[in-house]
Amino acid sequence: NAGVTQTPKFRVLKTGQSMTLLCAQDMNHEYMYWYRQDPGMGLRLIHYSVGEGTTAKGEVPDGYNVSRLKKQNFLLGLESAAPSQTSVYFCASSFPGNNSPLHFGNGTRLTVT
C-alpha cells in the first residue's frame, strides 16, 4: 500500500517550458487535490477533482491545468512555466465527507528560472 505517490521529486524548468506532475493513489479515494506550498503562506489549493473525469478550480488555478482520466491518477500541467510557479507542489486524496482527512504525497519541488 503505497498511499499517494508523486513524480518527479525535483525539477528545474526554464521560463516558458512545460511539464506535467504525476500523482497516483491506491486507496480508492474519490477526491484528489493539488496544492502548492510557499513559505509563510501555508497550502493553497490549485485544482481539485471529486471523481474520475471531473475537475474544478481551487484558490490559485491560473497557469495550471489538470486532468483526471482515471480514478487513481491526477495530473497537474504547467503549459508555460513562470518564476512565480517556483514552489513545492503536493498532491492529496480523500474520501468524500466532512470527516475525511487528506492523505498527502511527499511533494515535488519545482524551480523555474
Shortest distance, position 101 Cβ to another protein, whole Å: 4
Cβ atoms 74, 49 nearer than 8 A: yes
Copy the grid coordinates of residue 72: 487513481
Shortest distance, position 39 Cβ to another protein, whole Å: 9
Nearest to 13 by CA among 105, 104, 107, 84: 84
Copy the grid coordinates of residue 49: 477533482
Asked if 101 is part of the footprint of another protein (rule: CB under 8 A), the reply reads yes
Comparison of 14 and 99: residue with beta carbon closer to another protein? 99
Asked if 28 is part of the footprint of another protein (rule: CB under 8 A), the reply reads no
Cβ atoms 9, 77 nearer than 8 A: no
- Which residues would be at the binding site for another protein (CB under 8 A)? 4, 31, 33, 40-43, 45, 48, 50, 90, 92, 96-107
